[in-house]
Amino acid sequence: MPSLLQYALSGLSAGSLYAMVALGLVLIYRSTRVLNFAHADMATVGTFIAFSMIRSGVPFWLALSMAIVAGSAVAVVFYFAALVPAQRKGANHLGQVILTLGLALILQGLTVYQWGAEPDRFPFPLSDTAVFQVGPVFVSELSLGTLAAAATASLVLYLLTQKTRLGLAMRATSENLQAAQTLGIPTRGVLAFAWGVAAALAVVAGVFLAPVLLLDPFFMLDAMFKGLAAAVLGGLNSLPGAVLGGLLLGVAESLGGAYVSLEFKTSLAFILIVAVLLVRPEGLLGKEFQERV
């Protein structure tokens, strides 16, 4: 039993990162019906900015704040400079997805040009080797920090979407864009804000993932795929589903690696996703999207 709890806790730590990535993907999808394939690269740019600032002597929390602002700015600028003109010209959802792929390639190229492709270690104030004992299990400082960051981000997003007028506007815009425009809601600004919040979540995930891996221009790609899988598992139009999907995916991976094989752990997690989607195609907490015409 202690071993099971230990593996489950490790899975929750990894799953919390997947959940933050999934939250950003779901936030954008439910607002615009567009899957943002540049999500990981926005996080990568923000993480590298934090890396450069920390290396130059800037305190970690200030560097993290500036990285979040930078990542959000990239997302907002892309929305106004690329997506809005495309939408005005009648681009469909697939065309807008292709635009996000183009942004991903541009950001990858800029990252390699600015910081190079050589892996580097990310300086982080929390250690992955210093551990605490909590009952029968051990948890590292970094794992505790990751869980706390994910919980805080989820709580802030919940309060934002459910308890504020801006959140009400975001929900109205995602439910019916034309009706929201008729009611006088500035939908362009609301959608841009949603893109910025999504990028901020991705940057936080990137900064907490970087100490575990070597930092390079492509270190977020695996987390991006896992986050997308978590979003699909939980339901692409459900924010609570994104959190649930991320945590379940992380725990499934950890237990699969422990009790089946390390080589099979990712496959086992995705077999779980396929099994769930065969029963609930809309995801665990998702609802079938019906567009009114």
Token pair for 71: 């990542």
In a domain, 253, yes or no: yes
Q: Is residue 265 part of a domain?
A: yes
In a domain, 289, yes or no: no
What's the pLDDT band for 293 if we cut at 50, 70, 90?
very low
Q: What pLDDT band is residue 260 in, cutting at 50, 70 and 90? A: confident
For residues 81 and 87, the answer to whether their CB atoms sit within 8 Å is no
149-176 pLDDT per residue, tens: 999 999 999 999 888 998 889 888 888 8
Domain holding 19, by residue range, is 2-279
pLDDT at 269 over 80: no
pLDDT over 60 (residue 292) = no
Among 143, 162, 139, CA closest to 151: 143
Alpha-carbon distance of 146 to 209, in angstroms, equals 8
Q: Is residue 288 part of a domain?
A: no
Contact 220, 41 (CB under 8 A): yes
Q: Where are the alpha helices (DSSP H) in 164-237?
A: 165-175, 177-182, 187-209, 221-234
Q: Which two tokens stand for residue 192?
A: 């841009």
Residue 42 carries which DSSP code? H
* pLDDT per residue as tens digits for the range 221-238: 989 989 998 999 898 888
Q: Could you tell me the CATH number of the domain that includes residue 256?
A: 1.10.3470
Number of domains in the chain: 1
What Rg value do the Cα atoms of the chain yield, rounded? 19
pLDDT per residue over 1-56, tens digit each? 567 888 888 889 999 999 999 999 999 998 888 899 999 999 999 999 999 999 99
